[in-house]
Structure 1
Amino acid sequence: MKLPIVAYGDPILKRVAKDIEPAFPNLKELIADMYETMYAARGVGLAAPQVGQSIRLFVVDATPFDEDEPELKNFKKVFINAHIVEESGEEWPFNEGCLSIPDIREDIYRNSNIRISYYDENWVHHEDSFKGLAARVIQHEYDHTDGKLFTDHLSPLRKRLIQKKLNDISKGIVKAEYKMKFPAVKKGR
């Protein structure tokens, strides 16, 4: 089932998400719904806070980047209770966007390498290292579970320059090709 994506301005996107237990209700269905929602919106990652759940869960499928980095072919993963252990390597820019912030893209600097501890969808624990675009996609989604958005990485000046667009998104003044939930739009209108 496709879920509505929470838009910029909703307080859930700024909240640090909670770890969950294996008995979390309907987890398999939530993961399946998140993948369906992500694919329908043409994203490469989606975090639970973006669908209204303040839990440490995100899904990624970086396969669309496999032309740039062939090792990303079939790079599809679920991250539960993820915690970045180490970020290293040179910071490099990449033009990022976000399903919760449609129509805005900005160059964001992130470390090129990460080491992350997490559980997969079968509750098998992993501590893996990722680099390049895989690390970037994971860092972007991980930020969501820490209550951060890619716009939080912008300089104060750059953020001021796009503030009207951000405010418009929270009011629903944006065109998205997927269902969204806007914090500043009253129900029943």
Structure 2
Amino acid sequence: MKKVALFLANGFEEIEALGTVDILRRAEIPVQTVSVSNELKVTGAHNITVIADKLFTTMDFSDIDVLVLPGGMPGAKNLNEHKGVKEQIKTFVTKGKYVAAICAAPMVLGGLELLKGKKATCYPGFEPQLIGANITGENVAVDGKIITGKGPGFMFDFALQLVEIIAGKETRKKVAEGLLWEKKISD
């Protein structure tokens, strides 16, 4: 089973981060939350404080298959200013591993010029920072190994898309049904 690391920076969007972790864990996908600050305690954009599983400085990414960047401000800005996060993203893309970002966080990928010629979506107003992307405006855009989501209202779509990519359509359907998420899932 693919393993996931989800970055937490002060100012992260709680719904996107915690909802995604919850849904992935419901699918029995191993997820580690990774603080990019100097402490495990990270406070979100709406003053909800959580304890991350690992610090970025002690995290071993060698057995991780998927990186997830939640949005929120200034969380996405803090991710974008973290050199180690950006290096890790570039390494993942080079190795053909998955990178997923939602809301404002696709700006990190755009700034690294990883979205050139790729379908992408983001929170309205951040499109200029998705340098070279084909902006879809969709809830979730998947182009190769890059997955982007529009914003907090679409966290379920984003997280369930990750479940499908990692664990398949049947697992996605099972998790969605367990959540009473009544959106139709195409076969």
| TM beyond 0.5 | no
Which of the two has greater helix per residue?
2
Higher relative contact order (CA 8 A, sep 6+): 1
* TM-score, normalisation: structure 2: 0.31
TM-score (norm 1): 0.31
Q: By percentage of residues, which structure has more strand? A: 1
